[in-house]
Amino acid sequence: MTSMAHTDSTHIPDRKTSRFALTSRWLLRGSLFLSAAFVGGFAVFAAHIASLETPAEFAAADGIVVLTGGQSRLDTGVDLLKAGKGKRLLISGVNPKARMEDLRLATGGEERLFDCCVDIDRAALNTIGNAEESAKWAAANTYGSIIVVTNNYHMPRSLLEMRRILPKADLQPYPVVNTPLRSNVWFSKPDALRVLATEYSKYVAALARGMLPVTNAVEPYEMVRANVSAQ
């Protein structure tokens, strides 16, 4: 006679299956949390970019650094130099084929001004390179304060990278605003949304890179200055 207490083994959950299901649930929850954090962070980032405006009044600095990437940036940097807001101007990330004369003609700057007070950097290939070359330039000229000129959407990442290598420098942001993004206009403009999303992704990657125990070998200002002085 068959015992009624017999239990069908198929009803007993497998331990491996249970662990897998539990792990899957935690991974799903983690993914949802990270996705929500990413989207929420993007909203904050976009709102911050939309709030950035070209300052009407600000103090002069030792030097001015323009991160290339648009004609408006170059024009703004040259105008600031003309206005006496800095002793010298560094244009960082210039195309190797571009000559100083090409830049002068493009901005309508005076030959005398470019000859005396404008430097160009052709070595920087990205924002990290901009920070490195700007630090070398600041160290060579013993500058402690710098006006940073770039587009509004590029400003947070630019300051992040530059503050890593110039932690003690007074960096004054001077955002160039080509398209005003007040009242969340960016949300209804596909091109603006695409630019903001791309830049936000790069900003998050830059933040994550800074949290790693071994990051890009960027020397602090003091080391750069010592190396420049030794040359």
Mean of pLDDT values over 146-155: 96
Which ranges of 52-126 does DSSP label H, i.e. alpha helix? Answer: 71-82, 100-107, 111-117
10 pLDDT exceeds 60?
Answer: no
pLDDT tens-digit profile of 60-92?
999 999 998 777 999 999 999 999 999 999 999
User: Residue 72 and residue 13: Cα distance in Å, rounded?
Assistant: 66
Superfamily of domain 56-182+219-230: HUPs (3.40.50.620)
The whole-number pLDDT of residue 29 equals 67
Q: Is 120 helix (H, G, I), strand (E, B) or coil?
A: strand
158 pLDDT exceeds 90?
Answer: yes
Question: Domain limits of the chain?
Answer: 56-182+219-230
Among candidate residues 147, 149, 87, the one with its CA nearest the CA of residue 118: 87
pLDDT interval class at 165 (50, 70, 90): very high
End-to-end CA distance of the chain: 98
